[in-house]
């Protein structure tokens, strides 16, 4: 697979964006764009956890329903979910029906809700590398980095779940902590 595709609009994009309109929009407008704030980062962490073992496009297509059932991923609201909510969510075909992942979001929400305002944002961004060289090709894009391993270790130490180092590197990519748009992509850092 080539590292880049040229779309009908004439722009070169990372090939993973493919020809799906929603995936291209995500590539162009979100992936690698700096994301700040406790709630948006909690949402991204939760969705990346749901993605483990699945394709991101599956999560992206289900994201509106995830947002609905988890009340915008507001930690204080999701933290109050109980066993009946878990059972209800396990019946909802609009989301990924995985008990462990659902319970992880609820447990992680409680941990995030107990943090001071801005603390989750500061914690996650504290692992952003001081320097990052965008890749020349997909072959250069790592699955994990020392920073994502350290982020994962600290989150797990605090009790967070579904925050492995690969998942946390995906979070770093999607929230703009690193820029992994390949060279030649119109979104790649100059």
pLDDT tens digits for 60-104?
Answer: 999 999 999 999 999 999 999 999 999 999 999 999 999 999 999
Residue of 26, 30, 74, 149 marked catalytic: 26
Q: Is 26 a catalytic residue?
A: yes
Q: Is 140 a catalytic residue?
A: no
Both tokens of 111, joined, read 């941990």
Average pLDDT, the chain: 95
CB distance 105 to 121 below 8 Å: no
- Rounded Cα distance between 87 and 64, Å, is 20
Asked whether residue 190 carries a pLDDT value surpassing 80, the answer given is no
The predicted-structure confidence for 13-64, as pLDDT tens digits, reads as follows: 999 999 899 999 999 999 999 999 999 999 999 999 999 999 999 999 999 9
pLDDT at 8: 87
Percentage with pLDDT > 90 across the chain: 92
With cut-offs at 50, 70 and 90, classify the pLDDT of residue 125.
Answer: very high
With cut-offs at 50, 70 and 90, classify the pLDDT of residue 167.
Answer: very high
pLDDT at 9: 87
Residue of 16, 30, 56, 149 marked catalytic: 56
With cut-offs at 50, 70 and 90, classify the pLDDT of residue 189.
Answer: confident
Residue of 31, 43, 48, 169 marked catalytic: 48
The pTM of this model reads 0.95
Q: Is 56 a catalytic residue?
A: yes
Which residues are CB-neighbours of 155 under 8 A, at least 6 positions away?
A: 123, 163, 168
pLDDT at 134: 85
- Rounded Cα distance between 12 and 41, Å, is 28
With cut-offs at 50, 70 and 90, classify the pLDDT of residue 5.
Answer: very high
* Count of CB atoms situated within 10 Å of the CB of 34: 10
pLDDT at 72: 98
């Amino acid at each position: 697979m080539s590292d880049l595709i040229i779309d009908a609009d004439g722009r070169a994009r990372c090939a993973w964006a493919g020809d799906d309109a929603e995936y291209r929009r995500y590539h162009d407008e979100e992936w690698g764009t700096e994301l700040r704030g406790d709630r948006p980062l909690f949402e991204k962490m939760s969705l990346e956890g749901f993605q483990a073992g699945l394709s991101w496009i599956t999560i992206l297509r289900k994201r509106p329903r995830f947002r609905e059932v988890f009340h915008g991923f507001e930690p204080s609201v999701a933290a109050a979910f109980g066993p009946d909510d878990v059972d209800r969510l396990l019946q909802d075909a609009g989301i990924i029906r995985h008990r462990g992942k659902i319970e992880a979001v609820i447990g992680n929400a409680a941990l995030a809700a107990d943090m001071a305002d801005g603390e989750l944002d500061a914690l996650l961004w504290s692992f952003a590398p001081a320097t990052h060289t965008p890749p020349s090709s997909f072959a250069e894009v790592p699955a994990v980095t020392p920073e994502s391993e350290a982020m994962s270790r600290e989150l797990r130490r605090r009790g967070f779940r579904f925050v492995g180092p690969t998942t946390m590197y995906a979070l770093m990519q999607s929230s703009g902590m690193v820029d992994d748009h390949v060279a030649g992509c119109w979104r790649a850092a100059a």
